Amino acid sequence: MTSARGPRLEFAVGAFLLLALGSLLVLAVASTNGNFSLGRSASYELTARFSNLGQLRPNAPVKVGGVTIGRVSGIDLDPVRFDSIVTLAIDRRYHEIPADTSAAILTGGLLGESYVGLSPGGDLESLQPGEEIAFTSPAVDLMQMVGKYMFSGGDDAAGSAPSPDAPASGDAPALDEGLTP
């Protein structure tokens, strides 16, 4: 004995499950920044040395002028120099990156994700697969910079002591100063 409510309830449950699966698919694509692919795209590797990585992580974007041209494929430590060696997987479409290109670790916004920003130079020679980017800038540690300026001892005009000839901040100059009756 089936009631009229049975097919409606089954349809509602099925529609809810399809909506939930669709939402999970959208979430999966959004969490990969739209770079959802089953296979690897053709790329070549470059390396760069940094003294400070900040919050840079594997799979972080590599950008030139705001356009993503690759990903961070690996991060290692040089046991001799104690520098961080970052391996960049660059899309083969961008195979003519000038040899004097510089790399910096940047942050998208104030507290956004870290990424490697490349600034191409003007050299006619291109970086070849496996070569190292020679000119690098480390990540800027925001907390260290804030602490440096908060606790610096009066190096600027705003933090310096007033001169002995200056009136105290609460004292106003007399209006009749220097006038004799």
Give yes or no for residue 77 having a pLDDT over 70.
yes
Please report how many Cα atoms fall inside a 13 Å half-sphere around the Cα of residue 90, on the Cβ side: 27
User: Which residue, among 144, 61, 143, 145, has the nearest Cα to 103 in the 3D structure?
Assistant: 61
Mean pLDDT calculated for residue range 57-79: 94
Are 88 and 59 in contact by the 8 Å Cβ rule? The answer is: no
User: Which residue, among 58, 61, 64, has the nearest Cα to 33 in the 3D structure?
Assistant: 61
Q: What pLDDT is recorded for position 8?
A: 87
Q: What is the pTM for the complete model shown?
A: 0.61
How high is the mean pLDDT of the chain? 81
Cα–Cα dist 70/114, whole Å: 14
Are 63 and 69 in contact by the 8 Å Cβ rule? The answer is: yes
Spans of all domains in the chain: 43-141
Q: CA 159 from chain center: how many Å?
A: 32
Give yes or no for residue 163 having a pLDDT over 60.
no
Give yes or no for residue 109 having a pLDDT over 90.
no
Cα–Cα dist 49/137, whole Å: 9
